[in-house]
Amino acid sequence: MLHSSSLVVEKRGPITRLRMTMKVAGLPLHETSAFVVADTLVDAAAPTSARELISHLRREPVARVILTHHHEDHAGCGADIQREFGIPVYAPQGALDILATGPRLPFYRRVLATSPRPYRALPLAQTTRCGDFTLETVPTPGHTFDHVCFFEPVEGWLFTGDLFVHERVPVLRGIENAQEQIASLKSVMALKPSILCCSQAGFVEDGTAALARKIEYWEGLANRARELRLGGMSPRRIARELLGHEGLFTWVSLGEFSKKRLIESLLDEG
């Protein structure tokens, strides 16, 4: 079988992390996480993880799904969940048409995650009640135009989707905007979250400090890039100077992810 997936369950108090690794020909290539809070699933993984996710939800059912954005590794199992359980999936307004028609994926993402089936999602409300908890919808554009985070104000939990990822992210996708992401990071940092529930990094303690460190890293990188740009250096050379050579995934993605794109976006030259 070309595509496969594994699922690992991690718990932190009332939050369950569903950690899913996508594999191609047995090789683990990408990891993402969904989270369960009481009766609500936050994000719906990639189509390659459908069997494992559905199996888990049969054992621990939920009443609804809420999505942070339309990307296939966060929304890809929505159609499978609706068909299997008949529960609603809620998504940001800007994601609704994309999910209904099915996103058009570049080749490497079709190989990695396969293309999701189209489905009808409902628009997210400003708040979602999850048992004894309330998740507030916080617009956080930058990774995508429709990206949102979910914040539980009493507990201080912040579900970050793909806003945070890691403290030191050295690459950017072509559709992303680093300046918008920094503004979004600052807006959620002002909420003073106690913990981040991140699709990549998992449970990140002292969430406010972690967000501050990511902002500091990108803003520091931007300041050094501007100095080198004023000296006449090209974004490609700046990226190599500050971040090193491009990695394998840059070539696999045909340049969609790259260090050069991050530098261009930090310089507002993308």
Can you give the pLDDT at residue 28? 54
Point out which residues pair with 6 in neighbouring strands.
21
The lowest-confidence range among 57-61, 62-66, 127-131, 266-270 is 266-270
Q: Distance between CA 9 and CA 67 in Å, rounded?
A: 19
CB contact at 8 A, 259 and 251: no
Taking only the tens place, the pLDDT of each residue in 143-176 is 999 999 999 999 999 999 999 999 999 999 988 9
Give the strand pairing for 15-24 and 27-37. Answer: antiparallel
Q: Distance between CA 185 and CA 189 in Å, rounded?
A: 6
Can you give the pLDDT at residue 139? 98
Which candidate, 161, 172, 147, 159, places its Cα nearest to that of 257?
172
Please state, rounded to an integer, the average pLDDT across all residues of the chain: 92
Can you give the pLDDT at residue 171? 95
Can you give the pLDDT at residue 3? 58
Q: Distance between CA 69 and CA 260 in Å, rounded?
A: 25
Is the confidence at residue 110, as pLDDT, over 70?
A: no
Q: What percent of the chain has pLDDT over 90?
A: 79
Q: Distance between CA 37 and CA 268 in Å, rounded?
A: 38
Q: Residue 263 has which token pair?
A: 């530098």
Can you give the pLDDT at residue 1? 45
Tell me the average pLDDT across 84-96. 97
Is the confidence at residue 25, as pLDDT, over 60?
A: no
- In angstroms, what CA-CA distances link 129 with 34, 46, 101, 146? 18, 25, 28, 21
Amino acid found at 150: F
Is the confidence at residue 79, as pLDDT, over 80?
A: yes
Taking only the tens place, the pLDDT of each residue in 91-106 is 999 999 999 998 776 6
Half-sphere exposure at residue 103, Cβ-oriented, CA atoms within 13 angstroms: 24
Tell me the average pLDDT across 192-206. 97
Q: Distance between CA 127 and CA 130 in Å, rounded?
A: 10
